[in-house]
Amino acid sequence: MDKTKCPLPNSKPYMPLNYINRAIESIRQGTAQKPNCIWLETSTCFGEIIALLDGENPGVPFLLTDLVNMTFFNSIMTDSGEAAYERILNTINSGEPYIFIVSGAIPLRSEGRYTIIANYEGRYITALEAVQTIAQNASYVVAAGTCASFGGPTAARPNVSQAVPLNQVLDRLIINVPGCPVHPLWILGTLAHIVNFGMPALDEQNRPITFFGLTIHEQCPRRSFFDYGIFASTYGSPECMFKLGCRGPVTRTQCPINRWNESDNWPIGNNTNCIGCASFGFPDLMQPFIRY
């Protein structure tokens, strides 16, 4: 990774919208190439896709028409059956570079047959096989959401399907973009960074520092209450919710800046504490979510 091409991580992360606008403009001017992209949803709750579809500025049309050439997206594509899976085969065998995005953990039980993503030429294609096949020649592999990044709720106790995060089935560098669900700007911003600069600067958990460099606690609008030792004792109070079990001090995201659905729709804005949904070990290591 040539770190000289990456914006330096500092105390104020760059806004993802700037990345996205620059990437789209570079593609339109012909100074950057629109990459092929495969987005594979495996074993997950569909949350990443719903969040992406609800994004407004930019929304999913920018992803599909301006940012990448999406050759396969099983959650929203019109092709089905063998024709859909052939889109994957055509992409990985084309000789052209492509980005591989995975949302959801990967079940290992029963040789991976807990998640079947295709029936091709009379044979079941498991998520495990598909992920390992597609990742071989991918220029970049991106884990979208906490399940793909760290296991998340899919791999939580009792984990009947023996699901694991992406890094346990692939022996290569994976860009982790966690969140339950991941915010559209974080995943689109990561793609835009790849178009603009290549591999982003990553932290020790392989998360883009641009979007995961600071904790929620460091950016929280209630931080001043914490600094003065003023804590809420009940939900609905305006003070710091640290003593109610808030995981903001250990959770690194841009939630205080990037809100969902162009609104104030985020936990602390709704008078509930952060439960660490973008952190390693969520949900098991973050429980109980509420502590008095």
CATH number of the domain enclosing 162: 3.40.50.700
Please tell me whether residues 193 and 253 are part of one structural domain: no
Please tell me whether residues 9 and 97 are part of one structural domain: yes
Domain count, the chain: 2
Q: What is the CATH number of the domain that holds 218?
A: 4.10.480.10
Helices (H) and strands (E) in the chain, counts: 10, 9
What one-character-per-residue DSSP string does 255-274 give?
A: TTTS-BTTTTBSTGGGT---
CA 240 from chain centre, in angstroms, equals: 28
Q: So what's the pLDDT on residue 86?
A: 96
Please tell me whether residues 191 and 231 are part of one structural domain: no
Please tell me whether residues 202 and 250 are part of one structural domain: no
Distance (Å, whole) CA 203 – CA 263? 29
Chosen domain end from 210, 233, 253: 210
- At residue 146's C-alpha, the angle toward residues 145 and 149, to 5°, is 90
Number of Cβ within a 10 Å radius of residue 248? 27
Please tell me whether residues 164 and 229 are part of one structural domain: no
Please tell me whether residues 83 and 141 are part of one structural domain: yes
Chosen domain end from 153, 179, 210: 210
Please tell me whether residues 37 and 121 are part of one structural domain: yes
Distance (Å, whole) CA 68 – CA 70? 6
Please tell me whether residues 26 and 140 are part of one structural domain: yes
47 three-state secondary structure: helix
Please tell me whether residues 48 and 110 are part of one structural domain: yes
Q: Return per-residue pLDDT of the chain as tens, 292 residues.
A: 333 333 333 333 346 778 888 898 999 898 988 999 999 999 989 999 999 998 877 778 888 988 999 999 998 999 988 999 999 999 999 999 999 999 999 999 999 999 999 999 999 999 999 999 999 999 999 999 999 999 999 999 999 999 999 999 999 999 999 999 999 999 999 999 999 999 999 999 999 999 999 999 999 999 999 999 999 999 999 999 999 999 999 999 999 988 877 777 788 988 999 999 999 999 999 999 988 7
Q: Please, are residues 175 and 5 in contact by the beta-carbon 8 Å criterion? A: no
Distance (Å, whole) CA 206 – CA 84? 31
Range(s) of the domain holding residue 250: 214-292
Q: So what's the pLDDT on residue 15?
A: 61
